[in-house]
Amino acid sequence: MRTILSSTLCLLFYCNVFSQPANNKLTISHLTGNFYIYTTYSNYEGNPLPANGMYLVTNDAVVLFDTPWDTTQFQPLLDSIKLKHGKKVEMCIATHWHSDRTEGLAYYQQKGIKTYTTTLTDSLCKLNNKKRAQYLITKDTTFKIGQYTFETYYPGQAHTIDNIVIWFKHERILYGGCLIKGADADDLGYLGDANTNTYYSTLQNVKKKCRHPKYIIISHSDWNNLQSLNHSIKLAKELKDKIKE
């Protein structure tokens, strides 16, 4: 936990943050081009833990990837996007069923935003009494929004049995969510809903699918380090070998 918090402090120091309230509940940082990372916070085991999401500004609309974890930041995020870009969010995709990804789905649906999850994620949201999306993705799907194209990809069970990633092939941006851990992480984090037997092979699938990414966006640590995927694969291999013992 100390490693995660230390990385976060460094991240917030050098990122180009254009919206950083005094209470530090929401930060928005420029990634590249029309891509932005937003970060909200929640308490985990008594400590503030950051949760990164992403949004994309296209000619047609703003697309949100995952929702804020902090329920007080649902509307401030929309307001910040509107103020900065003069556009509204029209679409939101959540990458698995945990609250740090799905908590704002119902709120955004009420605001007229089209919300999406996979059918597997929806079944787990229903089972675990989490917020659910309006539209369901039944298979790996390519979306074309404005001038951008991206693909939702299900690589297999790992952090959760439903985790997906978002791959921008042309820009080589991999949005890995909670599936990928920080390059300085000591372990794979919370495994209470994980498949530890397949975590390694799932990450290998991501690496094969999303070749040579320029950016790897992860949920709870520094997204500026491109070694995060390789390091996560190493951790997953060590876990797999330990299980075999």
* Tens of pLDDT, residues 205-244: 999 999 999 999 999 888 888 999 999 999 999 999 888 7
Residues 6+ apart with CB under 8 A from 234: none
Express the helix, strand and coil content of the chain in percent, nearest 5 each. Answer: 30, 30, 40
Q: What global pTM score does this model have?
A: 0.89
pLDDT confidence of residue 1: 38
Task: Indicate the angle between helix axes 228-244 and 199-209, nearest 10 degrees.
Answer: 150
| Strands 114-118 and 89-93, sheet pairing | parallel
Helix (H, G, I), strand (E, B) or coil at 128: coil
pLDDT confidence of residue 222: 80
Query: 51 vs 39, 129, 190, 213, 217, CA distance in Å?
Result: 5, 21, 14, 21, 11
Query: 130 vs 52, 126, 148, CA distance in Å?
Result: 19, 6, 30
Domains of the chain plus CATH, in order, are 2-154+162-178+210-224 (3.60.15.10)
For residue 10 the two structure tokens come to: 């460094």
For the chain, what is the radius of gyration of the CA atoms?
Answer: 17
For residue 126 the two structure tokens come to: 């229903």
Residue 55 pLDDT level (bands cut at 50, 70, 90) = very high
Residues 6+ apart with CB under 8 A from 14: none
8 Å CB contact between 194 and 160: yes
Query: 215 vs 35, 51, 134, 144, 204, CA distance in Å?
Result: 11, 17, 29, 20, 17
| pLDDT tens readout for residues 159-191 | 999 999 999 999 999 999 999 999 999 999 999
| pLDDT tens readout for residues 124-172 | 999 999 999 999 999 999 999 999 999 999 999 999 999 999 999 999 9
For residue 184 the two structure tokens come to: 């300085």
Kind plus residue range of the DSSP H or E element containing 52: strand 47-57
